[in-house]
A and B are shown apart, each in its own frame.
Chain A
Amino acid sequence: MSVDDLHVEFDTYGGIVKAVRGVSFHVRAGKTLAIVGESGCGKSVTVQSIMGLIPMPPGRITRGTAMLEGIDIIGRQIINGQDIRGDRVGMIFQDPMSSLNPTMRVGDQIAETLQVHRGYTHKQAIARAVDLLGETRIPEPAKRAQQYPFAFSGGMLQRAMIAMAIACEPSVLIADEPTTAIDVTTQAQILDLLLDLQRKTGVAVVLITHNLGVVARMADDVAVMYAGKIVEKGSAEDIFYRASHPYTLGLQGAMPSNDQEREQGLQPIEGTPPDMFDPPKGCAYYARCPYAMRLCAQNHPERFALNPHHYANCWIHHERAPRGLAPQLFRGETA
Chain B
Amino acid sequence: MSAVIEARNVTKHFEVGRKHVVHAVDDVSLTVHEQEILGLVGESGSGKSTLGKVLVGLHEKTGGEVFFKGEKLPQRYASADFQRYASRMQMIFQDPYSSLDPRMTVGEIIGEGLRLHSDARTIPTRERISEWLCRVGLEPDHASRYPHEFSGGQRQRVGIARALIMEPEFVVCDEPISALDVSVQAQVVRLLGELKSSLGLTMLFIAHDLSMVRYVSDRMAVMYQGSLVEIGTADDVFFRPKHPYTKILIGSNPVPDPKSERQRRALSIKGEIASPINIGAGCRYADRCADVMEVCRSVTPPLLPVSDATGERTVACHLYE
Contacts and interface: CB of A to CB of B under 8 A. Distances in A.
Given A240-B257, A267-B186, A185 B211 contact: no
A49 B203 CA distance: 45
Given A155-B272, A184-B208, A188-B267, A268 B190 contact: yes
A186 B45 CA distance: 13
A253 B256 CA distance: 11
A272 B212 CA distance: 21
A255 B253 contact: no
Interface stretch (A19-27, A58-66, A125-133, A258-266): A258-266
Interface in B199-252: 208, 210-212, 214-215, 235, 238-239, 248-249, 251-252
Interface string A263-292: 001111110100000000000000000000
A266 B189 contact: yes
A163 to B, nearest CB: 16
A212 B255 CA distance: 8
Interface in A167-189: 183-189
Nearest to B248: A185
A256 B267 contact: no
A182 to B, nearest CB: 9
Interface residues of B, number: 43
Contact of B272 (A153, A219, A255): A153
Interface residues of A, number: 45
| Residue from A213, A250, A252 whose CB has the most chain B CB atoms within 10 Å | A213
Interface string B177-205: 00001111111011000000000000000
Contacts of A212: 182, 256
A240 B182 contact: no
A73 interface: no
Nearest to B212: A256
A237 interface: yes
B208 A213 contact: no
Interface in B260-276: 260-262, 266-269, 271-273
Nearest to B245: A185
Contacts of B212: 256
5 contacts: A185-B269, A214-B254, A240-B258, A258-B238, A272-B153
Given A188-B268, A216-B261, A217-B258, 7 more contacts: A153-B272, A189-B268, A213-B256, A217-B254, A217-B261, A255-B211, A256-B211
